[in-house]
Each structure stands twice: as structure tokens, then as C-alpha cells.
Amino acid sequence: MLLNSSQTVRQSISREAIIGHDTSWKVSDLGAVQFQHNYNQDILQAIKSRALELKQEKAHQKHLDLTFITGADRFIPEINELIHDKERLERLSDYAGTKLEPYPYSVVGSTVTYMGPQEQDGTVDWHCDGVPVTELIPLDISDPIIGGELEIYMGNCEIGKSLTDVGAEPNPKDILTIPHKMGYSTLGHFLGILHRTAPIKYGHRLTLVLNLRSTERSFVDDNRMFYLAADSEQDKEWIDEIAEDVRVNQLPSYQKSEAIRTAASKLPMKIDQSVRSSW
């Protein structure tokens, strides 16, 4: 079912509008877009039930005050249906303005996050994503809930993070608040964009997080190895996956992108002669 985007987009903001200047380390001009999705409710319900069953055994509270299952599709096979849904990938690519593909590393292709008051599951603290692009799909939002909104720092992430790293709160005027809503996904290019989930004072949220990257610019990625290690189980499988991906995908995509960039920068500047004659 194709939906008219003007009816379904609830919020949308460009990367440059969030950060306040253009950036070169990006996959596109996408900032964040929240839209009504049309994903199969039975699948979402099955993922939710399984995520609740698995919480005790598989969810961990890792760094950044986040309780989550990493590589959740390894334990909840229904997630794979969404990850590889062609219509979904096309729609997200349209929103991003560049072709997106599922993030390929098994430990962080998808996660399920559990959020609640700080003394329970917690909510993710200020951070910039390691993955280039992410889709946040609510599986459950308690009604009522106090807190739990996505908060985006409007500015340069290095400036923002130097404040939040020492426990300072950004000025409220620099924060864009995007409440989550059942039936609506949030697609964000949160690499180099500082964000968090507002602490939950009452209620809870359960979210399916599906990560993506650009096919053409697969080398644009901030998942440094120590960060993946902090997020993942300490097995070595993901190190081999990354090494192979760098060889097969990231290096060729980097070389191609550099060839296009340098060829473009060598083109003579087009000068309108009629303008010159009037100098």
C-alpha cells in the first residue's frame, strides 16, 4: 500500500537544520523523519511478545544507561521479515534521499530497547550513534507515560557532547523534542547528531531498532571497535565480519566515491561569459 507522504509524515527536519552547518561525514541530508508506518501488526505483536519473554535471559544493561538485546534478529526471527522488506527499504531510502541497506553486522543490525524509570531499565543517555542510520519502531508505549521522548541537540555534536559528558544539561532552547507514537516510526541519521531519550518518570517504552547504512557510502560509519565491544557480547565473530565488509564493500565504495569527488573537483569552473563582459 503506497501512502501519500503528506498525510503520513508527522515531523521532518534536515541534518543541516539540526547541526546548524553542513557536514561532510554523512550519508545524505536526512536529519530525522517521523512517519506513519504500515508494518504488519501481527509481526509487530509477535516481536513484542518474544521480546518480553526474552528480556530476563537476553537483555543487558550496557553503557549509556540502556537496557537492550543486541543483534535481536538472532533471537527473534520475525524481525528479519521487516529488515528485508523491500517496500520498507524503498520508502526509507526515499526519505533519506539515498539508497539504504540493512546494517550488516550481526551484533547490531537490530536491537530491542527496554526503557523505564532510571532505577529500573533506564533510558539512553546523550550519545551520537555508531550506526549511520536507524529506524525506531515503537512496540509498546505505556499510556500514560511521563518522559521517554527522543531529544535531539540542535548544534554541533562535539560542542554538545563536551557539555553532556561532564553532566551539564544543554540549554532547553537547543533541544528538539520528538515524542514517539504507536504506529509511527522515526528514521534518523544520528551519526554525528547528539541525542538521548528523556528520562522516564512514569511508565515504560519497548522499541524495535533497525539499523541501516547507505549502499553507496557504506564506509560512512562511526561504529568504532571499542564502541561495538562496549555494546556487544565479547565474542570475536563481529571483528571478522567487519574486516570482511571493509574489504568487500567499504573500501570499494570509498574508492569509487573519492574518484567521483576528485574528478568533480578537477572540472573547470563554469563561468558565465555574459556576466564577465559586464565587469
Ligand X SMILES: O=C(O)CCC(=O)C(=O)O
The interface mask with Fe ion, positions 182-221, x = CB under 5 A, is ----------------------------------------
Which of 28, 67, 98, 113 binds ligand X (CB under 6 A)? It is 113
Which of 78, 121, 129, 135 binds Fe ion (CB under 5 A)? It is 129
CB closer to ligand X out of 148 and 242:
148
Runs of H (alpha helix) within 121-271: 157-164, 225-231, 237-245, 251-266
Find all residues with CB under 8 Å of 134, minimum gap 6, and list them.
Answer: 187, 188, 190, 209, 210, 211, 212
Which of 18, 124, 152, 194 binds ligand X (CB under 6 A)? It is 124
Nearest C-alpha neighbor of 74 from the set 43, 102, 105: 105
* Using rule CB under 6 A, residue 195 touches ligand X: yes
User: Given the rule CB under 5 A, which of 125-133, 150-158, 234-242, 256-264 is the region that contacts Fe ion?
Assistant: 125-133
**Which of ligand X, Fe ion, none does residue 19 bind to, with CB < 5 to 8 Å depending on kind?**
none
d(CA 139, CA 121): 16
Helix (H) or strand (E) holding 233: none
CB closer to ligand X out of 35 and 253:
35
CB closer to ligand X out of 141 and 242:
141
φ, ψ (nearest 5 deg) of residue 220: -80, 105
d(CA 189, CA 93): 12
Give 62: exposed, middle or buried? Use CB within 10 Å, 0-12, 13-18, 19+: middle
* Using rule CB under 6 A, residue 101 touches ligand X: no
At closest approach, how far in Å is the CB of 195 from Fe ion? 6
d(CA 31, CA 41): 27
**Which of Fe ion, ligand X, none does residue 253 bind to, with CB < 5 to 8 Å depending on kind?**
none
Residues that bind ligand X (CB under 6 A): 113, 124, 129, 136, 150, 195, 197, 207, 209
Residues that bind Fe ion (CB under 5 A): 129
